């Protein structure tokens, strides 16, 4: 009798004909008749947490599927029960977590009511080696390498319907030495408000220049960001950025840049993407000494254009130019006033999809006064040349990346121009 009652409730809680379709094509196994979830659902029904249509329709003693059970649990979570019923719903949600995740966004919002803090993280291993030809007379190359591992934790806290709190904590250790050379850093911490056509970020927040896919900037800004729009968006970002080690130490003011920027761009999911932006970085001590001419700022404009040629092939280009440095001083800042990148991407690796992979080839020229903190792992500001990369997911939640740069330092040591430079970068990511 109890089983018939539960079957009646489960059938009433799924949507008529749609439930029949889901059951027929459902990839999940049926819930066994003696599974504890039946008793849990019966208890929730008796307590009024879940209820049927009231028309008495059911399918006799037919067992239900895990997908149908997840739909019931989602409805129970939406009721936001208290006391013993909440504990029971939490237990059911843990048992059918995978099925709830497969229900998508409709349940994602409900899950936040079960636990207001969600933790994700990464164990990341990085190794890179690079070489620079620093002396034209001896043809000597300067080589260096880095070998490190990072534990990254990223909590997300649900504040209310529209606001969430975020942070990123990194623990990095040097693998080249047995000595205790470690670094612990709260890299980011910010609150985020999401509304229909408005997003607000406040704190030490992540910022990637949208229109050029990070060619100009991919780092953290201590300040605020406002994004408005739907198909066409505008983003205003104001704050401070720390050069070098990103350590906001008041005694090292030379490394602190005030930043203000605005970008206008279309939906990144469109077949053709475009955008234009303006960025200003200001520091009296640093720029007065380096640029002269009484200027304590950099004014940088950039444009971006992308084309999704097919579902697996995309072409992206970007161009940025600095309008601060006088043309008469071009020799002193050779190649620094302009930056551009052209990249061809094929497929893409997804950590959740075992066997997926992606590759790219690009040519870039990154003038040191036209880009500030470029996103690329294999090359940086003040370099130009070819870059290739490959990503592969050999097993779920494990992604390997390999990148190689072959080009030149546009301004090398001792005033040398266009000196040979190479870099090999590899990264292993274990996501949890």
Q: Identify which has the larger pLDDT, 167 or 369.
A: 167
Asked if the model's pLDDT at residue 29 lies above 70, the reply is no
Say yes or no: 417 and 283 in one domain.
yes
295 and 247 in a common domain:
yes
Closest CA to 225 of 217, 365, 65, 68: 217
Q: Residue 276 corresponds to which tokens in the numbers above?
A: 């234009």
Task: Look up residue 324 and give its two tokens.
Answer: 């601060």
- Domain stop point among 71, 93, 114: 114
Check whether residue 101 and residue 227 sit in a common domain: no
Q: How far apart are CA 418 and CA 100, in angstroms?
A: 56
Q: Do residues 226 and 91 share a domain? A: no
Residue 99 structure tokens? 């099925």
What are 307's two structure tokens? 């084309």
Higher pLDDT, 312 or 27: 312
429 pLDDT tier (thresholds 50, 70, 90): very high
Distance between CA 345 and CA 312 in Å, rounded?
Answer: 8
Judged by average pLDDT, the poorest of 187-201, 279-293, 333-347 is: 279-293
Residue 373 is classified by DSSP as B
C-beta atoms surrounding 150 within 10 Å: 17
Q: Is residue 170 part of a domain?
A: no
Same domain assignment for residues 41 and 135: no
* Domain end among 114, 135, 162: 114
Examine residue 12 and state whether it is found in any structural domain, yes or no: yes
Q: Is 93 exposed, middle or buried (0-12, 13-18, 19+ CB in 10 A)?
A: buried
Measured between alpha carbons, how far is 151 from 137 in angstroms, rounded to an integer? Answer: 44
User: What is the spatial distance between Cα 335 and Cα 409, in angstroms, rounded to a whole number?
Assistant: 10
Is-contact 407 359, C-beta < 8 A? no
82-86 contacts at long range (C-beta below 8 A, 24 or more positions apart): 85/43, 85/44, 85/47, 85/49
Q: For residues 167 and 170, give the distance between their C-alpha atoms in angstroms, rounded to a whole number.
A: 10
Neighbours of 251 (CB within 10 A): 5
Co-location of 420 and 272 in the same domain? yes
Instruction: Report whether 313 contacts 288 (CB < 8 A).
Output: no
Q: Is residue 13 part of a domain?
A: yes
Q: Do the domain assignments include residue 194? A: no
The pLDDT, as a whole number, for residue 335 is: 73
If you average pLDDT over residues 422-427, what whole number do you get? 98
Is-above-0.85 flag for pTM? no
Phi, psi of 350 (to 5 degrees): -120, 115
Domain that holds residue 386: 125-146+205-431
Residue 84 predicted with pLDDT over 70? yes
H-helix or E-strand spanning residue 76: helix 66-78
Q: What angle (nearest 5°) sits at the alpha carbon of residue 345, between those of residues 340 and 350?
A: 125
Contact 375, 387 (CB under 8 A): no
The rounded distance, in Å, linking the Cα atoms of 374 and 426 is 18
Domain contains 180: no
**Planar angle of CA 36, 42, 45, nearest 5 degrees:** 145
* Confidence band of 51 (pLDDT split at 50, 70, 90): low
The 8-class DSSP code of residue 63 comes to P
* Domains: count for the chain: 2
Is residue 371 assigned to a domain? yes
Would 84 be classed as within a structural domain?
Answer: yes
**Alpha-carbon span 282 to 338, nearest angstrom:** 18
Q: What is the CATH number of the domain that holds 248?
A: 2.40.160.10
Tell me: do 86 and 221 sit in the same domain: no
pLDDT band at 292; cut points 50, 70, 90: low
Task: Kindly give, in sequence order, each residue whose CB lies less than 8 Å from that of residue 251, ignoring residues fewer than 6 positions away.
Answer: none
360 and 423 in a single domain? The answer is: yes
Give the pLDDT score at 90. Answer: 82
pLDDT at residue 85 greater than cutoff 90: no
Pair 23, 136 in one domain? no
- 345 & 425 share domain: yes
Domain boundary among 71, 92, 114: 114
Q: Do 319 and 388 fall into the same domain?
A: yes
Kindly state whether residue 159 falls inside one of the protein's structural domains: no
Instruction: Dump strand ranges (E) for 50-139.
Output: 117-135
| Same domain membership, residue 63 and residue 135 | no
pLDDT in tens, 360-413: 999 999 998 899 999 999 999 999 999 999 999 999 999 999 999 999 998 766
Q: Mean pLDDT in the chain?
A: 80
């Amino acid at each position: 009798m109890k089983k018939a009652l539960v079957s009646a409730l489960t059938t009433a809680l799924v949507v008529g004909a749609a439930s029949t379709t889901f059951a027929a094509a459902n990839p999940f196994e049926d819930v066994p008749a003696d599974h504890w979830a039946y008793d849990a659902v019966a208890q929730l029904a008796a307590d009024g947490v879940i209820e049927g249509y009231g028309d008495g329709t059911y399918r006799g003693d037919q067992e239900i599927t895990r997908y149908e059970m997840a739909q019931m649990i989602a409805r129970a979570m939406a009721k936001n029960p208290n006391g013993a019923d909440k504990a029971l719903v939490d237990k059911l949600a843990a048992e059918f977590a995978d099925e709830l995740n497969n229900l998508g966004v409709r349940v994602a919002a409900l899950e936040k009511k079960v636990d207001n803090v969600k933790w994700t993280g990464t164990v990341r291993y990085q190794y890179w080696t690079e070489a620079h030809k620093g002396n034209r007379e001896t043809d000597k190359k300067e080589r260096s390498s880095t070998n490190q591992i990072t534990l990254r934790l990223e909590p997300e806290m649900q504040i209310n319907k529209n606001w969430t709190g975020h942070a990123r904590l990194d623990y990095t250790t040097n693998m080249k030495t047995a000595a205790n050379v470690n670094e612990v850093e709260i890299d980011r911490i910010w609150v985020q408000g999401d509304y229909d056509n408005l997003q607000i970020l406040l704190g030490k927040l992540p910022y990637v220049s949208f229109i050029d896919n990070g060619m100009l900037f991919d780092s953290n800004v201590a300040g605020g960001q406002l994004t408005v729009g739907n198909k066409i968006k505008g983003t205003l970002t104001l704050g401070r950025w720390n050069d070098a080690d990103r350590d906001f130490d008041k005694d090292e003011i030379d490394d602190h840049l005030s930043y203000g920027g605005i970008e206008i761009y279309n939906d990144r999911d469109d077949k053709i993407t475009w955008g234009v932006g303006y960025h200003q970085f200001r520091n009296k001590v640093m720029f007065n000494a380096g640029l002269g001419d009484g200027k304590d700022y950099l004014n940088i404009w950039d444009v971006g254009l992308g084309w999704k040629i097919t579902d697996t092939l995309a072409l992206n280009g970007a161009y940025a130019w600095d309008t601060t440095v006088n043309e008469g001083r071009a020799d002193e800042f050779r190649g620094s006033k302009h930056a551009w990148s052209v990249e061809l991407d094929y497929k893409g690796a997804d950590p959740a999809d075992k066997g997926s992979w992606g590759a790219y080839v690009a040519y870039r020229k990154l003038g040191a006064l036209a880009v500030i903190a470029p996103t690329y792992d294999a090359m940086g500001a003040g370099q130009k040349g070819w870059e290739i990369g490959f990503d592969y997911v050999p097993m779920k939640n494990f992604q390997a990346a390999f990148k190689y740069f072959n080009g030149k330092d546009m301004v090398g040591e001792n005033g040398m121009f266009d000196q040979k430079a190479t870099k090999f970068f590899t990264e292993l990511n274990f996501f949890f």
